[in-house]
Chains A and B, each alone.
Chain A
Amino acid sequence: MEANADVNLAPKQDLNEVFLVGIIRENPVLVMLLSLCPILGVSSNFVNSVGMGVITGVVILFTNIMISLSGRFIPNEIRIPVIITIIATAVTIMEMLTNAFLPDLHAALGIFLPLIVVNCIVFGRAEGFALKNKLLPSILDALGITIGLVLAFGLMGFVRELLGTGAIGLLVLDLRIFPAEFAVPLFVMPAGAFIVLGVIVGIISTIKISKASKEKKNA
C-alpha cells in the first residue's frame, strides 16, 4: 500500500513535554474546555466520574496507537471517515467490555458512554496529533491527556459528591466526611455541576493570569 504524501510528520518533539503538556498546562477539560458535556453529566459521583475519565482515556490511547501506525497509509480525502470508524470501534468495544465486566458503571454512565464517539478530545488528538506523529509520541500524548482527563473528572466528582452528600463513596467504602444534614444537594444536581466547574476553571485561569503577569514583570 502506498504511503500518503499529504501527511507530513511533525518535527521531532521533546517527549517529556509531549507527555506533560496535557496534564495541567493544556488540560483538556479545565484549560481547553473540551469534554464539558460528559463532565457536567456524570461528575455527580467520584467513582463514576473517574471511570468516565479512564474509559475516555483508553479510547484516546487505542485511537492514537491505531492512527499513528496507519496514518501514513490513510488517504487524505477519507481521513475523517477512517478516523471516525476507528474511534467508533474503540468506543463500542469499551462499551461492550464495561457492560460485561463493570455493569454498575455502565448503567451509571448511560448514554454518555456511546457519546464518547463525538468527544472533541478523542478526534482532536487523533487528527491533530497522532496522524502527524510516530507511535511513541502518540502513546505519550494519549497518556498525558488521559491523566489530565482523570484529574479533571476526579476533581469535579470529588468536590460535587463531597459538598452534595458529605461523603465520598470509594466502591465498597463510604467515607463520611461530615453529616448529611450539612450537605448541599444542589451540588449533585445539574446546576451544581456548572457552579463547581465555573469555580475550578476560574481558579485555574486566575493562577495562569497571575503567573503570566509575574513573568512579564520579571522580563
Chain B
Amino acid sequence: MKKIIHLSLFLGLVVGISTIALAFVNDLTAPIIAEAQDVLFAQQRQAAFPEATRHISHATDAPYTLEIIEALSGDTTLGYIYVQEIMGFADVVRYMLVIDTNGYIRNFLTLFNMETPGFAYPPRLYYWAEHQFMDQYLDTHIDTLAAATVTTAPIIEAIRHAYDDFFARR
C-alpha cells in the first residue's frame, strides 16, 4: 500500500511539473497563435470575394457551421462564406466554404488543418504534378463529390448542410 502511494505521488509530481511547464508555454504562445489565426481569417475572407467592400456576419444553427458571412459590394450580395468545422482523422479541420449567389462553390479555403500533408501542400513543390491535377477541373462542373475517408465524409455532410441553409436563405 505504501509503495502504491509512493508511486502515485511520484507520478502526480511529474504530471504536475509537466502541467506547469505546458501552462507557461501556452501563456507565451497562445496570443501569438490567436493573432496569426485572426490575420489568416481576414486574408481568407477577403480572398473569398476580392471585390467585396463589406461583410455581414449572420447567426446560424446549421450543423458544423460556426459562422455565415455575407459578402457585399455596396448593397449587392456577392455570396456567402460558411465557416465550418468538422472532426477529421487527426484533429478538427476548419475551413471557409465560399458559395456565390448562383449556388456555385467558388472556393474552399482552409483555416486549420492537421491532416497528413497531401498532394496540395506546399503548392510550389508540385510545380508540374499539381498544375496538371488542378487544371483538369478548371471551368468544369463537378456533379458529385465522393466521401471515401474519415475526413472527407463529414466535410461532404457539412457542405450539404451549408447548401440547405443557402437555399433557405436565398
Contacts and interface: CB of A to CB of B under 8 A. Distances in A.
A42 B33 CA distance: 23
A111 B150 CA distance: 15
A93 B21 contact: yes
A188 B90 CA distance: 22
Contacts of B32: 100-101
Given A85-B14, A165-B127, A180-B127, A97 B115 contact: no
Interface stretch (B50-58, B70-78, B118-126, B158-166): B118-126
A189 B125 CA distance: 10
Contacts of A114: 114
Contact of A110 (B7, B116, B128): B116
B29 A180 contact: no
- Which DSSP category, helix, strand, loop or mixed, fits chain A's interface? helix
B43 to A, nearest CB: 13
B21 A89 contact: yes
Contacts of A92: 22, 25
A99 B7 contact: no
Interface residues of A, number: 44
B113 to A, nearest CB: 7
A128 interface: no
B129 A188 contact: yes
A58 interface: no
Contacts of B116: 41, 110-112
A86 interface: yes
Interface stretch (A12-20, A76-84, A119-127, A196-204): A76-84
B117 to A, nearest CB: 5
Give the size range of B's interface with the partner.
20 to 34
B18 interface: yes
B29 A78 contact: no
Interface string A99-112: 11101100111111
Contact of A103 (B21, B36, B122, B127): B36
Given A92-B22, A96-B26, A77 B7 contact: yes
A111 B6 contact: no
Interface string B22-50: 10011011001100100000000000000
B118 to A, nearest CB: 9
25 contacts: A42-B117, A75-B6, A75-B7, A78-B11, A82-B14, A88-B18, A89-B18, A89-B22, A93-B22, A96-B26, A97-B25, A99-B33, A100-B32, A100-B33, A107-B121, A108-B117, A110-B113, A111-B116, A112-B117, A161-B125, A164-B125, A165-B128, A183-B127, A183-B128, A188-B125
Question: What 4 A-B pairs have minimum CB-CB distances, sorted nearest first?
Answer: A100-B29, A185-B129, A89-B18, A100-B32
Interface of B: 6-7, 10-11, 14-15, 18, 21-22, 25-26, 28-29, 32-33, 36, 90-91, 113-117, 119, 121-122, 124-129
